Amino acid sequence: MRGWKVMKRSEVKLEETWDLTPLFDSEVEFEKAIDQVKLESKHITKYKGTINTADSVIEVIGRYEKLMELLVPIGSYANLSLSVDQTNEEAQLRAAKVGQLFSEINAETSFITSELLELDKSALEEAEKNEPNYSNYLQKLIRKKPYQLHPEVEKALAALGTTFDAPYELYDTTKLVDIQFEDFEVNGKSYPLSYNLFEGDWELEPDTAIRRTAFDAFSSKLKAYQHTTAKTYDMHLKIEKTEADLRGFNSIFDSLLFEQEVDQNLYHRQIDIIMKELAPHMRRYAKLLQKVHGLEKMTFADLKISLDPTYEPKISIEESRQYMKDGLSIMGEDYVKMLDRAFDERWIDFAQNNGKSTGAFCDSPYGSHPYILISWTSRMNEVFVLSHELGHAGHFHLANAHQNIFNAEPSLYFIEAPSTMNEMLMANYLLQSSNDARFKRWVISTIIARTYYHNFVTHLLEASYQRKVYEIIDNGGSVNASILNNIKKSVLEEFWGDSVEIIDGAELTWMRQPHYYMGLYPYTYSAGLTIATQVYKRIQSEGQNAVEDWIKVLKTGGTKSPVELAQMAGVDITTDAPLKDTIAFIGSLIDQLEQLTDELDK
């Protein structure tokens, strides 16, 4: 931990921040781009009522493509500026302005989809034949036909886009602006608290008294905002349910899975099998943590601690660059050049400051390079977080370079596979770099605590909770703080059994996750890591051929379904075999941790 002071954005080092000038050099250029996009949008409205031939289909999609390419940097600039400091009023107003702009343009251009779907199929097929680059766009459009509403209704829904996004914005404002944490005290010493300090440091703190006191203080503050946050979430759920009903989907699950191009079987299987078959392995891991740390009881507040906290190395930002290059070098020379660019050109925002979004993410605006947000704590496990986000960056860097804007983004079901693959590659590199038993135990425990716990446990338990919430909404019900707390607590108790005490405050973890405002996103982490684990094992056994297959998959973007993308990489996700094999692999890692711990104890 570099220090306990929570800095203002204006106080952080420039070299630890990202450089947004490749998007726009200045506010003047940003405003010019908005004027240009408004003008282009007006030009497109001239096509209204004229889309009646294959040639006119190609022409209007071409103009729409250009409009989308103009919109992307505007949206990214506004969102990225706000994400590093939610307290910045100028950034708040800019983001609100852009949100309204997007709603207006979506409303103005909604006629394109409506008119295309009113055409005879022969005209669309001829357009596909004459311009294959738009084939994927048209095919995905045709899939939507059964759920397309009257053109005027579609226009109204598009115009209300900002309103529909309001719950997520309200959630973020409550979380990152209104909630201000007081310092907490342990044995007469005072410690500062914030979202990023808790999730980046105190949750991992080896001192049990400090860690548990921080958890209590953090949870106590969350509790004061539980009713507002629950009402905000319920509002979001009602919007999703209303749209699903309007469009004629059988359930809210079908509606949300539609864009992912997977059915409910893949969704439910992921949750059901992990809840049942992974739980025994993770309970063993919890017991091992309890034993090594000499804890009288294992509580929810103890689950994120390191197996060997006195051993975990510290790492600087500059040192992390070499780890990225060495650990991910198997991906090839071009990939390593991209990693250098990410550091040299300041694609990454490392700073810790007040108002910054929690966690980490990667935004990859089409036509520019990716941007990564992370709050650097100098803990060695950050190499896994950074390699994860660089996995997203590498994916879209390749997809954007080889696909048009319509074809670049794959299904949400697949989106976490490239990121978690990088974590596996980094872990393998670290394991190969030393024969020291203690170091090996640290690496394997980090794979469990970071890669698999984060993606297969934290996010999967979110998914299990989320499914129960959507079942209530789908049956016409509503949720409040009490209901959400009870659901979250029951899911945690089901998974951890009597191996972990689900203490007061654990039930409030639903308040911490923005993923709930992104549809059925949480379960996709385990789906992506299932694919990644299987491809990683292929790379271990087959070498370069498997790597080349994987690079091809990354370049393919969203031109194929998740099942097809996995097949390209040599994985069949139409069966439960990859998932069961991945769970067995996790079990084998925990076996190794137990054996290494016994060896070190002796």
Average pLDDT over residues 391-395: 97
Average pLDDT over residues 411-419: 94
| 214 class by beta-carbon count within 10 Å (0-12 exposed, 13-18 middle, 19+ buried) | buried
Q: What gap in Å lies between CA 517 and CA 165, rounded to an integer?
A: 9
The residue among 390, 398, 355, 408 whose CA lies nearest residue 196 is: 355
Q: At what angle do helices 317-327 and 417-432 cross, to 10 degrees?
A: 90
Average pLDDT over residues 454-459: 89
Residue 141 within a domain: yes
Count other Cβ atoms within 10 Å, centred on residue 582: 24
Instruction: Find the domain containing 38 and state its range.
Output: 9-159
**What percentage of the chain exceeds 90 in pLDDT?**
86
Residue 447 within a domain: no
Whether residue 3 is predicted with pLDDT greater than 50 in this model: the reply is no
User: Is the CB of residue 444 less than 8 Å from the CB of residue 431?
Assistant: yes
Average pLDDT over residues 576-587: 95
The residue among 301, 129, 113, 134 whose CA lies nearest residue 207 is: 301
Whether residue 364 is predicted with pLDDT greater than 80 in this model: the reply is yes
The pLDDT of residue 4: 55
Helices (H), 509-543: 522-542
Residue 408 within a domain: no
Least confident piece of the model among 282-286, 434-438, 478-482, 550-554? 434-438
Q: What gap in Å lies between CA 546 and CA 529, rounded to an integer?
A: 17
Residue 365 within a domain: no
Count other Cβ atoms within 10 Å, centred on residue 186: 15
Least confident piece of the model among 128-132, 176-180, 202-206, 287-291? 176-180
Cα within 13 Å of Cα(418), Cβ side: 31
Least confident piece of the model among 6-10, 66-70, 109-113, 543-547? 6-10
What b/e string do you get for 402-423 counting C-beta neighbours within 10 Å, with b at 16 or more? ebbbbbbbbbbbbbbbbbbbbb
The pLDDT of residue 1: 41
Q: What is the pLDDT of residues 510-534, one digit of tens each?
A: 999 899 999 999 999 999 999 999 9
Residue 528 within a domain: no
Domain count within the chain: 1
348 forms beta bridges with 372
Q: What gap in Å lies between CA 589 and CA 533, rounded to an integer?
A: 13
Average pLDDT over residues 82-102: 94
The pLDDT of residue 19: 97
Local structure of residue 357 (DSSP, 8 states): P
191 forms beta bridges with 184
What pLDDT band is residue 6 in, cutting at 50, 70 and 90? Answer: confident
The residue among 300, 535, 323, 592 whose CA lies nearest residue 419 is: 535
The pLDDT of residue 455: 84
Least confident piece of the model among 3-7, 275-279, 293-297, 587-591? 3-7
What b/e string do you get for 504-536 counting C-beta neighbours within 10 Å, with b at 16 or more? ebbbbbbbbbbbbbebbbbbbbbbbbbbbbbbb
Q: What is the CATH number of the domain that holds 82?
A: 1.20.140.70
Angle at 362 between CA 180 and CA 345, to 5 degrees: 105
The pLDDT of residue 200: 84
Residue 181 within a domain: no
Tokens of 173: 């404002």
Tell me, what amino acid is at 476? G
Residue 18 within a domain: yes
Average pLDDT over residues 529-552: 95
The residue among 45, 186, 22 whose CA lies nearest residue 109 is: 45
Average pLDDT over residues 88-112: 94
Answer left, alpha or beta for residue 355, where phi above 0 means left and psi between -120 and 50 means alpha: left
The average confidence (pLDDT) of the chain is 94
Element (H, E) at 362: strand 361-363
The residue among 308, 307, 356, 364 whose CA lies nearest residue 200 is: 356
Residue 74 within a domain: yes
The pLDDT of residue 121: 85
What pLDDT band is residue 602 in, cutting at 50, 70 and 90? Answer: confident
417 contacts: CB under 8 Å, gap ≥ 6: 527, 528, 529, 531, 532, 535, 565, 566
